[in-house]
């Protein structure tokens, strides 16, 4: 039976498939080459330093591929390390449980999407409704949206993570609109549903998430703004002021220029969406960090990158795995699948982006 990376302890033997996340050839003080490699599975990552058979293993351990790894677990400065005895590429005869290699959102994706659609049905402005329909009634877009990750590492970095995060932000946006009636509910719901659609073009990868050329050169905020603007332009008579406000929500949703937004939120709806996006991503990171370290000694987690603090391990947060939000009505946890995942970013090309 497979032991996940999160479960590995010093002295354990390893003989299983892992994703090669990173691989770098370096030079030791004596001039000899060695490899610094990071492996991952659905539970986390583990590092390895390889001094033997460097040239062959450099060719085997290609980043963003799967490798069969044999070794043992050691410890360095309190962190588990993998000592590699051997590694090979996969063959067509290998039976690989892909659900064990890529983390998957714990929420049923169809239930999440059905709930998201129930919020879309609340939109009254016919132009905004048409804009949302141009995305969420497009079968190819929906297929990508349901399976895409929301981030490479920081939050909701799972299959279905973009859908999970978007639903979390939409829930907050709708609630904000109840509590503060002067907020434009149509702009709040539409802005929440569209704020991260650029991530479909920003990131891709078969077994691990990497940035595309468009992602590196433009980023999901610029890409998303362009997508929204061009979709508005295709709807006859779409009000320019509404388009401007929606694009502003997209470009300002990170809240600060140092966080990637080219401008600060300057409308009430943009201010509210920034906080909704920030809260959903931060609370996910908090619950995930506490869950990951629930069995480690001490009352606090290690410092959490992105939150810039350690977290107190509350009893409630330690229970129930890393589920962070309420389940959609009728939803259940995803069942593991042995089906080979389809490559992300299969439907749009970068050449299509700014047509």
Q: Do 262 and 251 touch, CB atoms closer than 8 A?
A: yes
Q: Tell me the pLDDT band of 332, cut-offs 50, 70 and 90.
A: low
pLDDT at 304: 87
| Gap between the Cα atoms of 199 and 150, Å rounded | 7
- What pLDDT is attached to residue 300? 92
Which residues fall within 8 angstroms of residue 77, CB to CB, at 6 or more apart?
none
The pLDDT value given to residue 292: 76
How confident is the model at residue 247, as a pLDDT? Answer: 97
In order of 14, 159, 226, 261, 346, the CA distances from 167 in angstroms are: 38, 14, 22, 21, 23
Q: Is 9 helix (H, G, I), strand (E, B) or coil?
A: coil
Output 193 or 45, whichever has higher pLDDT.
Answer: 193
* C-alpha of 311 from chain center: 21
- Predicted confidence band at 157 (pLDDT cuts at 50, 70, 90)? confident
Q: What is the pLDDT of residues 14-54, one digit of tens each?
A: 999 998 888 999 999 999 999 999 998 877 789 999 999 99
Q: In this model, does residue 114 exceed pLDDT 90?
A: yes
In degrees and rounded to multiples of 5, residue 52 shows phi and psi of -105, 145
Pairing of strands 13-27, 65-76: antiparallel
Q: Across all residues in the chain, what is the average pLDDT?
A: 86
Residue 196 has pLDDT above 50, yes or no: yes
Q: What is the pLDDT of residue 80?
A: 86
Q: For residue 156, which of 217, 111, 198, 106 has the smallest C-alpha distance? A: 106
**What is the CB neighbour count within 10 angstroms for residue 210?**
15
| Per-residue pLDDT at 186 exceeds 60 | yes
Where are the extended beta strands (E) located within the chain? 13-27, 33-41, 44-50, 65-76, 79-89, 203-204, 210-211
Angle (CA) 167-170-171 rounded to 5° is 85
In the predicted structure, residue 350 carries a pLDDT above the cut 50? no
Beta strands in 51-164 (DSSP E): 65-76, 79-89
Decide if pLDDT at 171 tops 90: yes
Classify residue 223 by its DSSP letter: H
Backbone angles phi, psi at 150, to 5 degrees: -90, -15
DSSP code for 104: B
Adjacent-strand bridge partners of 20: 39, 65
Report d(CA 188, CA 82) in Å as an integer. 47
pLDDT in tens, 64-90: 888 999 999 998 877 789 999 999 998
342 pLDDT tier (thresholds 50, 70, 90):
very low
- pLDDT for residue 345 is more than 60: no
Strands 203-204 and 210-211: antiparallel
More confident residue, 152 or 273: 273
Classified as helix, coil or strand, 345 is coil
pLDDT band at 131 (very low <50, low <70, confident <90, very high): very high
Mean pLDDT of 226-236: 97
Q: Which phi and psi angles does 67 have, rounded to 5°?
A: -130, 145
In percent, the amount of the chain with pLDDT more than 70 equals: 88
């Amino acid at each position: 039976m497979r032991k996940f990376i999160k479960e590995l302890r010093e002295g354990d033997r390893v003989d299983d498939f892992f994703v090669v996340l990173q691989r770098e050839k370096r030079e030791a003080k004596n001039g000899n080459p060695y490899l610094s490699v990071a492996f991952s599975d659905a539970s986390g990552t583990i590092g390895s330093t390889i001094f033997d058979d460097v040239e062959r293993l450099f060719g085997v351990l290609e980043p963003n591929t799967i490798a069969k790894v044999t070794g043992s677990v050691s410890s360095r400065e309190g962190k588990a390390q993998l000592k590699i005895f051997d590694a090979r590429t996969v063959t067509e005869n290998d039976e690989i449980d892909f659900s064990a290699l890529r983390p998957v959102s714990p929420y049923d994706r169809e239930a999440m999407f059905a709930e998201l659609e129930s919020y879309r049905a609340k939109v009254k402005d016919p132009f905004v409704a048409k804009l949302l329909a141009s995305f969420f009634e497009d079968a190819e877009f929906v297929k990508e949206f349901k399976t895409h990750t929301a981030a490479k590492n920081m939050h909701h970095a799972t299959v279905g993570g973009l859908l999970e995060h978007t639903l979390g932000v939409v829930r907050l946006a709708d609630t904000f609109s109840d509590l503060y009636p002067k907020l434009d509910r149509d702009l709040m719901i539409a802005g929440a549903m569209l704020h991260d659609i650029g991530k479909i073009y920003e990131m891709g990868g078969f077994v691990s998430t990497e940035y595309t050329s468009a992602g590196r050169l433009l980023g999901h905020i610029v890409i998303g703004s362009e997508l929204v603007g061009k979709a508005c332009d295709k709807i006859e008579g779409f009000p320019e002021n509404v388009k401007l406000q929606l694009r502003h929500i997209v470009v300002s949703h990170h809240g600060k220029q140092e966080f990637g937004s080219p401008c600060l939120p300057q409308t009430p709806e943009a201010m509210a969406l920034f906080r909704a996006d920030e809260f959903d991503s931060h609370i996910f990171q908090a619950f995930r960090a506490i869950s990951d370290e629930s069995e480690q000694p001490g009352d606090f987690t290690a410092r959490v990158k992105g939150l810039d603090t350690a977290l107190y391990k509350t009893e409630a947060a330690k229970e129930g795995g890393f589920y962070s939000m309420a389940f959609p009505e009728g939803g259940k946890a995803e069942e593991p699948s042995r089906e080979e995942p389809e490559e992300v970013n299969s439907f749009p090309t970068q050449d299509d982006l700014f047509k």
